[in-house]
Structures are given as structure tokens and as C-alpha cells.
Amino acid sequence: MKLVYFARIREQLGCDEEEMALPDGVTTLAELIERLVQLRGETWHQVLSAPDLICAINQEVAALDATLSDNDEVAFFPPVTGG
């Protein structure tokens, strides 16, 4: 799976994108976030548990209970404002 981090999320985590296999036992977006936090620590916890975090699977905004597959692209980004 491909993980992509945008805008301030990318800056806070120091990572713009990465490839990884879907971890064993992980089936939802929430479980993926939990696994990333377990692997990477407190900064990742603070960033990925922010209440305004937006997640997308295959370029469509997704809820935390959305199901993942190994071929998905998962993106994390802050709210977008227009004007």
C-alpha cells in the first residue's frame, strides 16, 4: 500500500510518502493509524489523532472504519480551506 502525507502533516512527520505492506491484523483505517502510532511514537500519535485530520483511500475521503486492502493508496491531510 502507498501512504501519502500532505501539507502540515508531511512537515510534522518529516515524511511525504512511503510504501508498506498492509500489516497483519489491520483491516481498517483506524487500525492502520493505531499501528503507525505504535511503530513510530508520540509525534505520530499527536498528528494522526488530531480531530481535524482528513483521510482518503484511493483519492476518496474515508471514515476511520473504512476497510483497507494491500493495493490501496491512503492519504492523510489537514482540512482544506478555500477562498
Using CB atoms within 10 A of its CB, is residue 42 exposed (0-12), middle (13-18) or buried (19+)?
exposed
CATH of the domain at 71: 3.10.20.30
Does residue 20 sit in helix, strand or coil?
A: coil
| 15-69 pLDDT, tens digit each | 999 999 999 999 999 999 999 999 999 999 999 999 999 999 999 999 999 999 9
Q: Establish if 50 belongs to a structural domain.
A: yes
21 closest CA partner among 10, 7, 35, 38? 35
64: domain range? 2-77
Q: Which cell numbers in the block locate residue 65?
A: 472504519
Q: Name the domain count of the chain.
A: 1
Asked whether residue 66 is assigned to any structural domain, the reply reads: yes
**What's the pLDDT at 74?**
98
φ, ψ at 51 (rounded to 5°): -65, -20
Tell me whether residue 83 is in a domain.
no
Which single residue is written with the C-alpha cell 482544506?
80
pTM: 0.93
In a domain, 10, yes or no: yes
